Amino acid sequence: MNVTQDIKYIGVNDREVDLFEGQYNVPNGMAYNSYLIMDEKIAVVDTVDARFTEKWLLNLENELSGKSPDYLIVQHMEPDHSGSIKAFCDKYPETAVVANAKAFNMIKNFFGTDLSDRQIAVGENDTLNLGKHTLTFITAPMVHWPEVIMTYDSTDKVLFSADGFGKFGAFDCEEEWLDEARRYYIGIVGKYGVQVNAVLKKAASLDIKTICALHGPVLTGDLTPYLATYTKWATYEPEANGVLIAYTSIYGNTKKAALLLADEFTANGVKNEVYDLARCDIYEAVGKAFKYDKVVFATTTYNTDIFPKMRTFIEYLTARNFQNRTVAFIENGSWGPMATKVMKNMLESSKNLTVCENNVTVLSGVNEQTEIAIKNLANELSK
Ligand code: FEO
């Protein structure tokens, strides 16, 4: 596939992986993207996961038509992209490897290979001239490892964005970008909003027509929505008005309260989504907590703490700098309800959270009094 006349897509699709990075469900597979820039000098941008080395080298060979690459640009050393570096270097011994200095230490640690005789270390704003195309390197530390660089081709106005703007799903899977890009971004890079924002500011000065990420589709056309969404995620601003209701329930009573609350929101015309944390993809729920401006946490008191799935959920949020939201709590307890206190404590260090006044306590089962409390909470959050 041609990205532009000179830039070819040579990536691979992984439809075998069950859990990406050992923890993320990827029902539509995963793409490990790689690109080839054909010019007077030829550059390959990133390799792929080691399980696909053979297929990728064949893709590369088919596009090279007998030529040899002059440069391998290594933007990111996580094994989903670096896994085929050694095989590539063995096959093309004359090719120079271009990367941030930190990446060369990682190459040595991963592969025991010292590339000192063929390495070109690059930093902020360094350039590489291929003939018609000049590449400029942009450092992107912690997006999402420290050695990451992005690469800007000023001729075709293409930004090779490493993991940035990537999503779960194979290259050719037909689904909208937003939901799976959010689940990917919040899950994997969400902690590093400050660093992502720094890179977005650098990107704002570039004339970008195409974004070539290392996962997901090549982005073209009007790029404004992608950039605006990334800015919101990086600054922890909500993407949308609405409520995520995340609950756990043991015998169905907390669930009943959560669903009654959802009905009230719907009646009030407030967008809402309900997630059962014991049964859903927890990273989808985490993503939705960063999507909406309001989150309701509903759980049971359990072993003088809270139900484990809710504890995990809140830990996943705080680990990703959850902030700038309005939150409310529904607790259940048959003799000593204390879940709201525990959840509030867990969220204490989250910045700029507004806690609702009308939190709800369920004493075992939902009754008339609980229903009134739920209505009050819904009305407070619907303002
Ligand atoms: Fe796709 Fe951070 O690797």
* pLDDT at residue 284, as a whole number: 98
Q: How many CB atoms lie within 10 A of CB 217?
A: 21
Instruction: Specify the residue with its C-alpha closest to ligand 1, atom 1.
Output: 163
What gap in Å lies between CA 377 and CA 363, rounded to an integer? 17
Instruction: Specify the residue with its C-alpha closest to ligand 1, atom 3.
Output: 78
Ligand 1 atom with minimal separation from the 166 CA: 1
Q: Is 30 in the pocket of ligand 1 (CB under 6 A)?
A: no
Listed residue (200, 72, 194) closest to 138, CA to CA = 200
> CATH fold of 240-382, please?
Rossmann fold (3.40.50)
* pLDDT at residue 144, as a whole number: 85
Average pLDDT over residues 139-152: 96
- The yes-or-no verdict on residue 238 having pLDDT over 90 is yes
Domain 7-235 in CATH 3.30.70.20? The answer is: no
Q: Which two tokens stand for residue 124?
A: 């902020």
Ligand 1 atom with minimal separation from the 215 CA: 1
pLDDT tens by residue, 173-227: 999 999 999 999 999 999 999 999 999 999 999 999 999 999 999 999 999 999 9
Average pLDDT over residues 225-230: 97
Ligand 1 atom with minimal separation from the 162 CA: 1
Query: What is the pLDDT confidence band of residue 113, given thresholds at 50, 70 and 90?
Result: confident
- The yes-or-no verdict on residue 64 having pLDDT over 90 is yes
pTM beyond 0.85, yes or no? yes
Which residue is it, tokens 């607790």? 331
Asked if the domains 7-235 and 240-382 are classified in one and the same CATH topology, the answer is no
In Å, what is the CA distance from 327 to each residue of 282, 299, 382? 18, 14, 12
Q: Is 163 in the pocket of ligand 1 (CB under 6 A)?
A: yes
* pLDDT at residue 114, as a whole number: 85
**Domain definitions of the chain by residue range:** 7-235, 240-382
Burial label for 153, CB within 10 Å (0-12, 13-18, 19+), is buried
Average pLDDT over residues 21-35: 97
Q: Is 214 in the pocket of ligand 1 (CB under 6 A)?
A: yes
**Rounded mean pLDDT of the chain?**
97
Query: What is the pLDDT confidence band of residue 94, given thresholds at 50, 70 and 90?
Result: very high
